[in-house]
Amino acid sequence: MLSLKQARQLQTVLLGLLAWGVALLIFFPIFWMVLTSFKTEIDAFSTPPQLFFSPTLENYLQIDSRSDYFHFAWNSVVVSFGSTLFGMLLAVPAAYSMAFFESKRTKSTLLWMLSTKMLPPVGVLVPIYLLFKDSGLLDTKVGLVIIYTLINLPIMVWMIYTYFKEIPKDILEAARLDGATATQEITQVLLPISKGGLASTVLLSLILSWNEAFWSLNLTASSAAPLTALVASYSSPEGLFWAKLSAVSTLACAPILIFGWLSQKQLVRGLSFGAVK
C-alpha cells in the first residue's frame, strides 16, 4: 500500500509525464520540420529517416535566391495586424453592448455569430471570389484584411464578451455617475480593467490571421500573397522538395513562434484572467 503522500507524489509524476508526452507529440512535427530544413534533398527523403546528418544552409540560400521572402512576410504582417486592428475596433463596442446592455436576443446573436464559424469556408468560396473580383479586391491586402476581420470577428467578440462579463456592472455605473461619457467609460475604465483579456484576444487574432491559408491561397496571386501562399508555392508539380518546403515553412512559422514565445506570459495571464474585485 502507498501512503497518502507517496500516492500524491506518484500522481504528480504521472501527470508530469502525461503533460510532457502531449507536449512532445505537439512539438514533434515542428521539430522535424526545422530538422529537415537543414538537410539536403536526398537526406530529407532517405529511409529510415536520419536524425544525425551534416547540416546545410543550402535550402535557405536557394529560397533567398528564388523568392522575395520579405515581400511575403511584409504582407503577412500587414494583413494580420490590419485585420486584428479592425477586428478589435468592431469587437470591443459589440462585446460592450452585449455584455452590459443585454437584451433577450443577445445570447442567440452570440450563438449565431459563432455558428458562422461552423460553415465550411469552401461553401462560400465562389460567391466571395466573385464579390472580390467585381470590387477589385482580388490579390489586395485590403481584401485580405476584410476577409480575415470577418473570419475572426465572431471569436473576438465572444472572447471579449466573456472578459467583459466578469467585470461588475457597478463599476461602469459608478463611472457613469462620475460623469464619464460612453466613450470615456470604455477607454478609461473598461479597457484598462480588461487589458489582459484584450491582449490575449489580440494575440489569438494575430496567430489565426498569420496562419490562415484557405482564403489567402484562393484570393491572392502575388502582390498581396502572405507567407502561407509562399509555402504553398513550394509544393511544385514536378514533385515535392521536402527540404526546401521545410525551410520555407520554418521561415513562415518563425516570426509568429517568436512573437508567441515573447508574449506567452501575457497570453497565459490573459487566458486565466478573472476576479476583478
101 lines the binding site for another protein (CB under 8 A): no
Choose, by CB under 8 A, the member of 184, 211, 218, 266 that binds another protein. 184
Choose, by CB under 8 A, the member of 47, 48, 177, 265 that binds another protein. 177
| x/- letters, 192..211, toward another protein (CB under 8 A) | xx------------------
5 lines the binding site for another protein (CB under 8 A): no
189 lines the binding site for another protein (CB under 8 A): yes
Taking the least distance from each CB to another protein, the nearer of 30 and 276 is 276
Amino acid letter for position 17 = L
H runs (alpha helix) in the chain: 4-37, 41-45, 58-66, 69-100, 106-115, 125-134, 141-165, 169-177, 182-184, 191-193, 195-211, 214-219, 227-233, 242-262, 264-271
Q: Give how far Cα 127 sits from Cα of 130, 132, 134, Å.
A: 5, 9, 11
Choose, by CB under 8 A, the member of 73, 90, 180, 232 that binds another protein. 180
186 lines the binding site for another protein (CB under 8 A): no
Q: Which three cell numbers stand for residue 92?
A: 470591443
Contact call for residues 155 and 118 (beta carbons, < 8 A)? no
Question: How far apart are alpha carbons 44 and 23 in whole angstroms?
Answer: 24
Rounded to the nearest whole angstrom, what is the least distance from the CB of residue 162 to another protein in the complex?
18
Q: Give the torsion through C-alpha atoms of 262, 267, 268, 273, to 10 deg.
A: 150
171 lines the binding site for another protein (CB under 8 A): yes
Candidate ranges 58-66, 86-94, 181-189, 208-216; the one touching another protein (CB under 8 A): 181-189
Rounded to the nearest whole angstrom, what is the least distance from the CB of residue 269 to another protein in the complex?
15
Q: Which residues bind another protein (CB under 8 A)?
A: 168, 170-171, 173-180, 184, 188-189, 192-193, 276-277
